[in-house]
A = this chain, B = another copy of it.
Amino acid sequence: MGDTLGSDSLLFLTDEQIRQGIEGMYFAYRGLTSEPDRILATLAYGRAHHRAIHFINRAPGTTVTNLLEILGVTKQSLNRVLRTLIEDGLVESRVGKIDKRERNLFLTEAGTALEARLSDAQRTRMRAAYREAGPEAVSGFRKVLEAMMDKELRQKYASLREANT
């Protein structure tokens, strides 16, 4: 990539630089969630609801088990959140066509609307950050994020999204 030092120069990354990266993740993550959190609070929802809404929107028709794996929480924990979303008419749970034990989850119109509202807030911030940092920085940003994830989980999510196309 035009760097004569190559990736060996990473050996010279100081402890301090690594620590700043970790702190950066903390502060940036907070920055990214603060607006949605505010919106959710007015609706008596929390971040857990947001996560469920987000992933149901991204993989419509996904099953409860899939969602559990992606979110990494227990069935009981997810169910509490899912129940309120269904009761409030934001999420619809349809009995599976092939396997009737499964439930396929979808956002209703109202659910889609809330997803858009929450997502808009985040996308606006993200877009602003991208614009400020510049196109090359964005590509680097995404590369590092990719490398930081749990590969298994990443793969699981990718195939889940492919399946629902």
Contacts and interface: CB of A to CB of B under 8 A. Distances in A.
B130 A141 contact: no
Given A72-B30, A127-B10, A130-B13, A146 B5 contact: no
A150 B31 contact: yes
B25 A145 contact: yes
A122 B3 CA distance: 26
A154 interface: yes
A141 B23 CA distance: 13
A50 to B, nearest CB: 10
Query: Among the interface residues A119, A130, A144, which one has the most CB atoms of the partner chain B within 10 A?
Result: A144
A66 interface: no
A80 interface: no
A145 B28 contact: yes
Q: Is the interface of A mostly helix, strand, loop or mixed?
A: helix
Q: How large is the interface on A (under 10, 10 to 19, 20 to 34, 35 or more residues)?
A: 35 or more
A122 B126 CA distance: 24
Nearest to A3: B135
B142 A129 contact: no
B144 A137 contact: yes
A110 interface: no
14 contacts: A2-B136, A3-B136, A10-B135, A15-B123, A18-B126, A19-B58, A129-B148, A130-B144, A136-B140, A137-B139, A137-B140, A138-B140, A139-B140, A140-B140
